[in-house]
């Protein structure tokens, strides 16, 4: 019998929807007592859109979560966004503090980067833990630069119907790839099936490779 590896859903805002699904759910906005008792992995981070006037307080709260929620496996999503959110200066300050927290607590980083790949590359050397750019939607050059900086790239619902994303996906080595559903009400196996078809690989191989990526990047 073939040993089928679980579907890793690298970034979702929802509960697992398949019995073979292994999620990293963004739980930053959930109350502590709920967060603590979820029977699956969560990530917590200060999303650039959520940065308030008092981001030091928000970052203290985040550090509390890291110390008190045993199932936090990653810090994120956090990062930089030129389309939405406060001034870049403030976003950079909050992001750099989160990089320090990730380094200190040895948490993998899940990144939200919108029109800021070059800003990120300028500071990526500060990162001492694995990092994954979620919802990647850049071009081939940006994909290569991010991978060379050490990051992996996670692909979500756009993989199903965006031709440009599909084209770039076919060129990226599978050992730098993750798949996700993010906020969309789709099933993770649909994204995996599409990924396997685009790579012209058996689904079993895609499941195994992404499982191995997860074991490598999340200290399983
Ligand atoms: Zn998200």
Q: How many whole angstroms from 203 Cα to the centroid of ligand 1?
A: 25
pLDDT tens per residue, range 33-69? 999 999 999 999 999 999 999 999 999 999 999 999 9
CB contact at 8 A, 72 and 109: no
Q: How many whole angstroms from 3 Cα to the centroid of ligand 1?
A: 30
Q: How many whole angstroms from 12 Cα to the centroid of ligand 1?
A: 6
Residue 192 backbone dihedrals phi, psi, to 5 degrees = -65, -45
Q: How many whole angstroms from 130 Cα to the centroid of ligand 1?
A: 18
Residues 8 and 24: their CA atoms lie apart, in Å, by 8
CB contact at 8 A, 165 and 159: yes
pLDDT tens per residue, range 161-181? 999 999 999 999 999 999 999
Superfamily classification of domain 7-217: Metal-dependent hydrolases (3.20.20.140)
Q: How many whole angstroms from 182 Cα to the centroid of ligand 1?
A: 5
CB contact at 8 A, 111 and 127: no
Q: Which has more pLDDT, 179 or 4?
A: 179
- The candidate with the shortest Cα–Cα distance to 84, out of 119, 113, 127, 60, is 113
pLDDT at 4: 87
Q: How many whole angstroms from 1 Cα to the centroid of ligand 1?
A: 36
Q: How many whole angstroms from 106 Cα to the centroid of ligand 1?
A: 21
Residue 219 backbone dihedrals phi, psi, to 5 degrees = 55, 40
Residues 6+ apart with CB under 8 A from 137: 158, 162, 165
Q: How many whole angstroms from 193 Cα to the centroid of ligand 1?
A: 21
> Whole-prediction pTM value?
0.96
């Amino acid at each position: 019998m073939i040993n089928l590896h679980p579907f890793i859903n690298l970034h979702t805002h929802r509960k697992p929807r398949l019995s073979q699904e292994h999620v990293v759910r963004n739980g930053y906005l959930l109350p502590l007592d709920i967060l603590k008792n979820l029977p699956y992995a969560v990530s917590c981070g200060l999303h650039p859109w959520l940065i308030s006037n008092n981001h030091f307080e928000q970052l203290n709260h985040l550090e509390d979560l890291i110390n008190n929620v045993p199932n936090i496996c990653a810090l994120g999503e956090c990062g930089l966004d030129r389309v939405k959110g406060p001034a870049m200066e403030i976003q950079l300050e909050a992001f750099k503090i989160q990089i320090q927290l990730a380094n200190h607590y040895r948490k993998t980083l899940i990144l939200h980067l919108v029109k800021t790949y070059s800003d990120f590359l300028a500071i990526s050397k500060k990162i001492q833990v694995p990092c994954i750019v979620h919802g990647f939607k850049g071009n081939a050059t940006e994909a290569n630069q991010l991978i060379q900086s050490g990051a992996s790239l996670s692909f979500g619902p756009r993989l199903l119907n965006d031709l440009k994303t599909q084209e770039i996906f076919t060129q990226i080595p599978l050992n730098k790839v993750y798949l996700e559903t993010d906020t969309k009400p789709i099933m993770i196996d649909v994204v995996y099936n599409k990924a396997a078809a685009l790579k012209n690989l058996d689904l079993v191989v895609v499941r195994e490779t992404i499982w191995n990526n997860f074991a490598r990047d999340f200290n399983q």
